[in-house]
Amino acid sequence: EVQLVQSGAEVKKPGESLKISCKGSGYIFTSSWIGWVRQMPGKGLEWMGVIYPGDSDTRYSPSFQGQVTISADKSISTAYLQWSTLKASDTAMYYCVRLLPSGGILNAFDIWGQGTMVTVSS
């Protein structure tokens, strides 16, 4: 079964750092783009960025460029999303997604992780 399994919920204080993870299984991890999508409480979906684990080619949404860092460790089939300085406005559910394997970067998101809830509060 193809799946993405994300790390658990986090509660952090403003100014702290955080790295959440997304482990792929059931497919060739290095052959599909992985993306991250934010969903703020009660709101819609926002694309944050994508990475190709095969060569670590990474693209960011202009809205999130400089605010987060996306990385991947292909040896353990895991992608990461990290913040160096969290803000209260980073409180949201974060989903990792797999882009459909065929057709490159311009593709729909066929597999979604279960989500990681990040709460930033003093």
Partner 1 sequence: DIVMTQSPDSLAVSLGERATINCKSTQSVLYNSNNKNYLAWYQQKPGQPPKLLIYWASIRGSGVPDRFSGSGSGTDFTLTISSLQADDVAVYYCHQYYSSHWTFGQGTRLEIK
- Please list every residue from 83 through 122 that binds partner 1, using CB under 8 A: 95, 100, 105-115
Site string for partner 1, 35-54 (x = CB under 8 A): x--------xxxx--x----
- Measured from the CB atom, the residue of 16 and 110 that comes closer to partner 1 is 110
User: Taking CB under 8 A as the rule, does residue 66 contact partner 1?
Assistant: no
- Measured from the CB atom, the residue of 77 and 116 that comes closer to partner 1 is 116
Residue 21 C-beta: closest distance to partner 1, Å: 16
Q: Is the dihedral of CA 79, 9, 26, 47 positive or negative?
A: negative
Residue 58 C-beta: closest distance to partner 1, Å: 12
d(CA 118, CA 121): 10
Q: How far is CA 101 from CA 23, 30, 76, in A?
A: 16, 10, 19
Q: Pairing between strand 18-25 and 3-6?
A: antiparallel
If you search the block for the tokens 């809830």, which residue do you land on? Answer: 117
Token code pair at residue 80: 């990461």
Binding site for partner 1 (CB under 8 A): 35, 44-47, 50, 59, 61-62, 95, 100, 105-115
